[in-house]
Amino acid sequence: MILGRVTGEVVATIKHPFYDGRRMLMVDRLDEHGGDTGKYLVAVAGVDAGVGQTVLIVDEGNSARQVVGDAAAPLRSVIIGVVDEVAVRGTEGLRD
């Protein structure tokens, strides 16, 4: 799983039918201190997440397909949760 921050929404007029009606979000991977890494990925929104929120992402094709319930889905990454707080080795943690 990956911790990331939603930075925007991806809009495509021509896409695989699986993506019809699904939100695709641009997510910046975060490091262990909550800092942006500059490494981005596009993930399907499995939960109601928005720009600026910290999210938990499954970035493994089979696991992502299990989340959406479609074994044939052309999918790699799906957002599975919105993070309220992260605590790292006794630090105060990150907050949204």
Could you read off the pLDDT of 12-46 as tens digits, one per residue? 989 899 999 999 999 999 987 888 999 999 999 98
pTM of the model: 0.83
Reference 74, options 10, 11, 19; nearest CA is 19
At 7 the pLDDT is 96
pLDDT digits (tens, 9 = 90+) for 67-95: 888 888 899 999 999 999 887 766 555 55
pLDDT surpassing 60 at residue 96:
no
> What single DSSP character describes residue 49?
-
What does the pLDDT read at residue 33?
80
Domains and CATH numbers, the chain: 2-95 (2.40.50.220)
Placement of tokens 């992260």 in the chain: 86
